A and B are shown apart, each in its own frame.
Chain A
Amino acid sequence: MRHEHLVTAKQLSRADVEAVLDRAAEIAANPAAVRERHSDALLGLLFFEPSTRTKMSFETAIKRLGGDVVDMGSVDSSSVKKGESLADTVRVIEGYADALVLRHPRQGSAQMASEFVDVPLVNAGDGAGHHPTQTLLDLYTMREAADGLDDLTVGIMGDLKYGRTVHSLANVLTNFDVRQHFVSPESLKLPRSVRYDLHEAGAKVREHTDLETILPELDVLYVTRIQRERFPDENEYRAIAGEYQIDEETLEQADDDLVVMHPLPRVDEIAPEIDETDHARYFEQAHNGVPVRMALLDMLLENARGDAE
């Protein structure tokens, strides 16, 4: 992988994805081998909105590589509240850290920030835009669970309009021989920009409003949360959300090998009874975030070091 920054999952080619996932698998198999690999590296954490888990996952990843973090802290206590621009903030923090991780509520924030810094910048979520490291760990989980990423039928269900993990995943899957089925209420269908990309990539894509008809064909079902705040009316939310929940009864029609994934946190999209079945991969998916982020940071830091020499 020869990228300086990871801003969108779209920038990842098939070879890039495979390189990161292979490296992650190596690291997962032998974590001791990389324990001191980046012992002088400091990772700058810039989280402009709360995300304990993603942040902890990056923190764990760099520490397991021997490095450490410098943390901007919560937005309330930082100079951001005093009105400093994001461009200024990243330019200051890049002087402290060897790489930056940015989570920001605005779409396009990571793209913009990457234009102002020389150290590698990783997008950890920009509003409804992208969340590429989530996509990498999704792919890692999918590859392990389904034994490869080709010749798969993947269903992606829930809030497809605002779900950044969905946008990133759909884009990257076009690099593989994957049939994609999108299942959502009419009001939460894929946005135009994602349709455009899928069309340009010549992806095999179909859209549905209910899961039933296609469930038996699926190898993977990727479930996302439908957010209450998207609906002005609580009753409307309840009516819709209820139709996109899965439980054991729903999965009776599914293939025995169906892999169920979810970027978490879930609310009630997946009934707890599924947790104990062989379908459930979402906790494993969350755990995979560490080796995948270790692999990515390792490669980006390595690239940056190479450039500096």
Chain B
Amino acid sequence: MSEHELRVSKIRNGTVIDHVPGGQALNVLAILGIDGSGGEEVSVGMNVPSDRLGRKDIVKVEGRELSQDEVDVLSLIAPDATINIVDEYEVVDKRRLDPPEFVEGILSCPNRNCITTDDEPVDSKFEVLDDEVRCVYCETIIREDLADHIDT
């Protein structure tokens, strides 16, 4: 572990999300639904120097694993991120993200005329494109501010 990364304190059990693009850490927290009110122990490093990305963010969450949905959305805003599972201060599993073809029931469609915004028994579904997502129903494309559309 490099000297820089040590600036963010070690966690005992939980998840370290590394190599998040600089400035995206707060969106990562939004995806995880963490705003501090739940009492989670979270450390965030922002704009930490990185060989790979120049500047990166890093998020460490004590006592928490990520669901597949969370991982899917995370992969949209931080495709180069790595997820480290920590057990007793040791990294026991290290995963790269693999953007899914579709994300379902996670983002809400910004098009107010989209059928998914009605009271219908259907989940939102977005096709994942290169650096944007597209509603399978109304075809609206969302590129920026994906985190704003997360259905929480």
Contacts and interface: CB of A to CB of B under 8 A. Distances in A.
A107 B139 contact: yes
A129 interface: yes
A264 B116 CA distance: 29
B145 interface: no
Interface stretch (B3-11, B17-25, B130-138): B130-138
A85 B114 contact: no
A87 B137 contact: no
A193 B113 contact: no
Contacts of B139: 107-108, 129, 193
A96 interface: no
Nearest to B121: A87
A193 B138 CA distance: 9
Nearest to A115: B122
Contacts of A129: 138-139
**Most chain B C-beta atoms within 10 Å of own C-beta, residue among A107, A109, A111, A192:** A107
Secondary structure of the A contact surface, majority rule: mixed
B141 interface: yes
B115 A193 contact: no
Interface residues of B, number: 19
Given A85-B120, A87-B122, A128-B113, A112 B141 contact: no
Given A86-B115, A128-B113, A107 B137 contact: yes
Secondary structure of the B contact surface, majority rule: loop
Interface string B105-127: 00000010111101111100000
Contacts of A87: 120-122
Interface in B128-152: 129, 134-141
Nearest to A130: B139
Nearest to A197: B139
Contacts of B116: 108, 112
B136 to A, nearest CB: 7
A176 interface: no
B113 A107 contact: yes
B115 A112 contact: yes
Contact of B136 (A105, A111, A128): A111
A48 to B, nearest CB: 11
**Most chain B C-beta atoms within 10 Å of own C-beta, residue among A85, A111, A196:** A111
Interface in B82-118: 111, 113-116, 118
Contact of A193 (B118, B122, B140): B140
A158 B120 CA distance: 33
Nearest to B116: A108
Contact of A108 (B115, B121, B129): B115
Contacts of A127: 113, 138
A174 B133 CA distance: 22
A270 to B, nearest CB: 28
A108 B134 contact: no
Given A111-B136, A129-B139, A86 B111 contact: no
Interface string B60-76: 00000000000000000
A128 B115 CA distance: 12
Contact of A85 (B121, B134, B140): B121
A106 B139 CA distance: 12
A108 B120 CA distance: 12
B134 A107 contact: no
Contacts of A106: 113-115, 118, 138
15 contacts: A85-B118, A85-B119, A86-B118, A87-B121, A106-B114, A106-B118, A107-B115, A107-B137, A108-B116, A108-B139, A109-B115, A112-B137, A196-B129, A196-B134, A196-B141
Interface of A: 85-87, 104-109, 111-112, 115, 126-129, 192-193, 196
The 10 closest A-B pairs by CB, nearest first: A108-B137, A107-B138, A108-B115, A193-B139, A108-B138, A106-B115, A109-B115, A112-B115, A192-B141, A85-B120
